[in-house]
Amino acid sequence: MDTFLIDDLLRGFLREDLEHGDITTEAIFSGHETGSAVIRAREPLIAAGIEAVAARVFRLLDERLVCEQMAADGQRLSRGDCLMRISGPVWSILRGERTALNLAQRLCGITTLTNSYVEAVQGCKTAITDTRKTTPGLRLLEKYAVRCGGGRNHRHSLSDGVLIKDNHIAACGSISEAVRRARASVPHTIAIEVETDTLAQVVECLRCGVRIIMLDNMDVPMLRQAVMMIRDQALIEASGGVNLHTVRAIAETGVDIISVGALTHSAPACDIGLDWESAAPPVC
């Protein structure tokens, strides 16, 4: 992740937690003490955002801090494993701790959950993708975390993909008219996907040459039928009603893609903490 894309965001997060300063730490420390600490997994997890996000937070807070990445993004860790070592002014480690951990625990949470879905469909050809149901302000980071977990990204925003939904279709009168309008207007490098609720709509998509068909909220037998109808004529995405119990059965219908909103909107935070390497930061 490029620093010029995320630095303003991260500085804003620091300001949110620091407002006009850390009054406890500034009262107690002189500012000259140095020490080191590690960020440690307190439960099994898959790492994400260590170098690009958590370390960057510390560096933006105080450029004298040195961060050493101890786990690659996407690496599976056990309870007690270290993600990163931070050395430098104690004052700054204490002040950046919460912001860095809040980000890391969320990103690792997404990566770990994503990987559970990816493992659940192992052996199938199906890819697991995210959706636009991300935390406002964190989409760039959360979509990165999805990739760290072996997932793939769906479109990033309303600007970089066409997804024709029921309301679009209703407004045009038919799928084919909606597709015609989209083709006439969007850049040719953007493919057109259509959301369908019924097999009749799937047929209409095939008839007008749609290359990506989303099967929305269909049960497994219906998904199976749709997949048989479509075969190689289009890429098939299943969406809706997906959880860790259902995802394997959905994948086994032969769909190419399963999109899962929960990856980003409901992943529980991983338990991650900061431990000082000496018993305590040096006395001032």
Closest distance of CB 279 from its own copies, Å: 7
Nearer to its own copies, 5 or 221 (CB): 5
- Choose which of 185, 221, 232, 245 interacts with its own copies (CB under 8 A): 185
The one catalytic residue in 22, 130, 193, 216 is 216
Applying CB under 8 A, which part among 24-32, 72-80, 222-230, 247-255 lies near its own copies? Answer: 24-32
Residues 58-77 that bind its own copies (CB under 8 A): 60-62
Residue 216 within binding range of its own copies, rule CB under 8 A: no
| Beta strands across the sheet bearing 82-89 | 66-69, 82-89, 34-41, 272-276
Question: Considering the rule CB under 8 A, would residue 27 count as an interface residue with its own copies?
Answer: yes
- 110 binding its own copies? (CB under 8 A): no
Nearer to its own copies, 54 or 71 (CB): 54
Residue 204 near its own copies by CB under 8 A = no
Name the minimum Å distance from CB 69 to its own copies.
14
C-alpha to C-alpha distance for 193 and 214, rounded to whole angstroms: 7
Four-residue CA torsion sign, 102, 103, 105, 106: positive
**78 lies in the site for its own copies, by CB under 8 A:** no
Point out the catalytic residue in the list 85, 165, 183, 224: 165
Q: What angle do CA 28, 32, 37 make, to 5 degrees?
A: 85
Distance in angstroms (rounded) separating the CA atoms of residues 108 and 53? 11
Span from 43-51, 114-122, 134-142, 202-210 in contact with its own copies (CB under 8 A): 134-142
Q: How many residues bind its own copies (CB under 8 A)?
A: 101
In this complex, which beta carbon is closest to its own copies, that of residue 31 or of residue 219?
A: 31
Instruction: State the catalytic residue, choosing from 85, 98, 152, 224.
Output: 98
The answer to whether the beta carbons of residues 262 and 113 sit under 8 Å apart is yes
Draw the binding track, 143-172, toward its own copies (x: CB under 8 A; -: no contact): x--------xxxxxxxxxxxxxxxxx-xxx
Using alpha carbons, list the distances in angstroms from residue 165 to 47, 94, 154, 162: 35, 48, 15, 9
Specify the long-range contacts of residues 114-119, CB closer than 8 Å, at least 24 apart. 114/145, 114/146, 114/148, 114/149, 114/150, 114/151, 114/263, 114/267, 115/46, 115/76, 115/149, 115/150, 115/151, 116/244, 117/151, 117/244, 117/247, 117/258, 117/260, 117/263, 118/149, 118/150, 118/151
Residue 11 binds its own copies (CB under 8 A): yes
Q: Which of 111, 115, 126, 129 contacts its own copies by CB under 8 A?
A: 129
Instruction: For the segment 232-251, give every residue that binds its own copies (CB under 8 A).
Output: 235, 237
Kindly name the residue from 195, 204, 237, 256 that is annotated as catalytic.
Answer: 195
Does the annotation count 16 as an active-site position? no
Is 166 tagged catalytic? Answer: no
Give the residue, chosen from 193, 204, 215, 218, that forms a contact with its own copies under the rule CB under 8 A. Answer: 193
Bridge partners, 89 (sequence order): 34
Tokens 């500012």 label which residue?
31
Spell out a b/e string for 39-69, using b for 16 or more CB atoms within 10 Å of the CB, else e.
Answer: bbbeeebbbbbbbbbbbbbbbbbeeebebeb
**Residues acting as catalytic residues:** 98, 133, 165, 195, 216
